[in-house]
Amino acid sequence: MTALAERGVGGKKPWTYEHERFERRRWFLRWLIDHIAFHILAKFDRVEGLENFPQEGPAILMINHIAFIDPIVVLACVPRNIVPMAKVEVYRIPGWGIFPRIWHVIPVHRGEVDRRALRMALEVLSAGEVILVAPEGTRGPYLKRGKVGVAYLASRSGAPVIPVAVEGTKGYPSLNPARWRQGGAVIKLGRPFKFHGVSKRPKRDELRKMTDEAMYILAGMLPDARRGAYADLSQATTDTIQFI
C-alpha cells in the first residue's frame, strides 16, 4: 500500500494534500517526458483548446481512455501540474511503478466504491488543484458507460469539469519505427461546465443522469468510431449541464 493510502487508516492522521511538497519532483518528471519519452517512447502531435484550461483554481479533467499513456500525455501538455486518479495496479508494475509513486497519483481500487480515493480527490480539489479522471474505469478503443465518480466529485466540490478528448495514443509506448511514421497523440480540451439543478449530495439516479450527460459531451468531441455507448448523440441532454 502506498503512503497516500496508508494515511487516515487505523486511526492515523487523515491524509492531507501538500501540493508544494510534490511540485519540484513533478516538474522534473515532466522534463523527462518532454525531452526523453516524447522522443523515444511516444509521439506527441499537438494539444488544442488550452484556453479552456483554468490558470488557477480547482478543476476535473475528464478523459476518454484508449492507451496506457493517455494520462501521462495529458498531464505533460497542460500548463499546471495535475493529479491523476489511476488504478492501484500501476504502482505494482515492475520498474514503471516508481513514477506514480514519485508523482503521488491517487490510487483507485477498481470494482468497488473506493471512498478513500474519493476523499483524496476532494482534498486535492479543496486545495485548489486539478485532478484527472477516466470515468470509464478502464481503457478501450471506444467509450463504455461512465461511472458516477466524476459527477460525485463535481457536485461535492463545485469544481468545473473539462472534457478532454484523447486520440492517436494507440500503440504507444513503442520503439517500433513503423508506429513512429504514423500519427501521434492529439489532445483536445473542451469547454468547461458545471452541474446545476441538483443538490450537493445528489441521489444515485441524479448522479447517473449527470454522468451520462457529461459523457455525451465527451462523445461529441470524439470521432464516430470512438463514441461507443454514447454513439447516438440524439439521445444527449443537458438538463444538469451549465457551460462556463
Domain residue ranges of the chain, discontinuous segments joined by +: 16-243
pTM of the model: 0.91
pLDDT for the residue numbered 94: 80
CA distance 155 to 167: 28
Highest mean pLDDT among 53-62, 102-111, 196-205: 53-62
For residue 172, what is the DSSP state? -
Q: What are 54's three cell numbers?
A: 483554468
Q: What are 123's three cell numbers?
A: 482534498
Q: 199 falls in which pLDDT band (50, 70, 90)? A: confident
Residue 11 pLDDT greater than 50, yes or no: no
C-beta separation of 210 from 195 below 8 A: yes
Please tell me the least confidently modeled range out of 15-24, 31-40, 116-125: 15-24
Residue 5 pLDDT greater than 60, yes or no: no
Q: What are 95's three cell numbers?
A: 520498474
- Over pLDDT 70: what percentage of the chain? 94
Topology adopted by domain 16-243 = Glycerol-3-phosphate (1)-acyltransferase (3.40.1130)
